[in-house]
Amino acid sequence: MKRTAYIILLLVLSIQSKATNQIEDILYYGQDKLHLYESPLEQIDNISLKIDNLKKNLSYSSDCHRSFYAEWTIINNELFLQNVYECNSNIKLNSTIEQILGCKFKNGLMKANWVNGELWAGKDPVPEESLYITIFKHEYKFKFNNGYLNCENKFDYTPCKYDNEYNLNEFILKNIDKNIINEINKTGIELSASVTSNNSGVIANITIDSSSKTIYNDEFIRVLKKLPCVKTYFYKGNFYCSTQSIVIKIYKEELDIYEE
């Protein structure tokens, strides 16, 4: 017997922050190109204002509040500034930075001896458009003392194995009560559920937000609880607590993905 159904599952992360992703500074470290969470130039008091006073008509935007971004490199455990650019025009601001710091670039590099404390950087961004910050698969925590690298830690986050090994649509159809599939196929169903998990991706709670057929809510909760895991996100080494919204739409004649 052939049954036709179409399931769309959309994972959306609910974030408290309402900020827009900012253009990040780039750090070259060994063979890696990293994205810095904060610019080391921001350790200089009123750096944006100082640049603006010297370089008139700087352009600001929602994704570039400070008006500039920079490139950095670590050589022999020392942090160097390579280039500073205006965000929107990409005009180089190196000469302006030289005036502010009273220091010259030599062979295209400037020692960043004003940088102290922790700096976080990420590698391999997670392609999640719903996030208000950029989440990475790998994170680095650097500790600097007057521009000298004292300590470096790397964190690698293992993705949910379920995402890699199985098809989420097939999982829903293979685990749902087959009699319910028959009923759903007659008229279709739309359902949205909020899912929270722990830092290992194990589902901790499921809440049905909306459903076109509430009599099937318990069955969908039962199936979703059987998911081996869902996506998890980490930021600065900590679990980025989230609520993911799984939107399920099943229609009779859209796509043939279940057959027995």
User: How far apart are the C-alpha atoms of 237 and 192, rounded to whole Å?
Assistant: 30
pLDDT (tens digit, 9 = 90+) per residue, 210-252? 998 888 899 889 999 988 888 788 899 998 877 778 888 776 5
pLDDT, greater one: 196 or 78: 78
User: How far apart are the C-alpha atoms of 69 and 147, rounded to whole Å?
Assistant: 18
pLDDT (tens digit, 9 = 90+) per residue, 10-47? 444 443 333 556 789 999 999 999 999 999 999 999 99
Model pTM above 0.85: no
9 near 246, Cβ under 8 Å? yes
Encoded amino acid at 7, one letter: I
In the predicted model, what is the mean pLDDT of residues 154-165? 72
Domain ranges of the chain: 2-16+159-259, 25-156
